[in-house]
Chain A
């Protein structure tokens, strides 16, 4: 079945450091890919998405490129801030399947940014 694999956390960085959180996926259809962020005490929020190969999603300085050849959707940010501390989830929905409405999540990666 479809699945998402993320790098384990926590990832601890100093402010203004470069961030990469790795995400790879397996899917039988034509997935759309997403990054969600969960701040402490809050619900999941969509950070960015990409719906087809080579698309780049971007938001709030974060970006991720849909790489079909490597089945990856790595999240990057050039300069992290303390306020970016949160848990980040990579997810997919398989548009080619009957359950295209369903989000399949990775296990999440906790990011801690120190001043």
Chain B
């Protein structure tokens, strides 16, 4: 079974430019998460989807970040415009249903560098 697939693996952009990250979760996984991992820190939740609905986006900086999950499958996370402090690894994860005891599967992440 394919795991959670993220692209691109690396992205370098200048500040004020837009950027987008893509995630393809495991087939059949209803719940999708985006986490951000700053250098030397543990991941922090940005947003959670149940199917196509964003049910918790309380940690998403809505002035510049947006996300969507069309048809409850793939998801895109966008930043516009990017700032230097957005440099981090953006992790996507999915689970069969909501609740950590269903088991998260993480993707390899997208490492964003804003210069």
Contact = CB atoms under 8 A, between A and B. Distances in A.
A108 interface: yes
A32 B101 contact: yes
A106 B42 CA distance: 5
Given A43-B107, A44-B106, A103 B40 contact: no
B42 A108 contact: yes
Contacts of B48: 101-102
Contacts of B3: 43
Contacts of A102: 45, 48, 56, 100
Contacts of A43: 3-4, 91, 105-109
Interface in B45-91: 45, 48, 56, 91
Contact of B108 (A34, A42, A91, A100): A42
Contacts of B108: 41-43
Nearest to A92: B100
A45 interface: yes
Interface residues of A, number: 23
Contact of A51 (B40, B44, B91, B101): B101
Given A43-B3, A43-B109, A46-B104, A105 B99 contact: no
A64 interface: no
Contacts of B43: 44, 89, 103, 105
B100 A101 contact: yes
Nearest to B55: A101
Interface in B96-115: 98-101, 103-109
13 contacts: A34-B100, A43-B91, A43-B108, A44-B93, A45-B106, A46-B103, A99-B56, A100-B100, A101-B48, A101-B56, A103-B43, A105-B44, A108-B41
Given A93-B100, A101-B98, A102-B45, 15 more contacts: A34-B100, A43-B109, A44-B93, A44-B104, A44-B106, A100-B100, A101-B31, A101-B99, A102-B56, A102-B100, A103-B35, A103-B43, A103-B104, A108-B40, A108-B42
Top 5 A-B pairs, shortest CB-CB distance: A105-B42, A43-B106, A93-B100, A44-B106, A43-B108
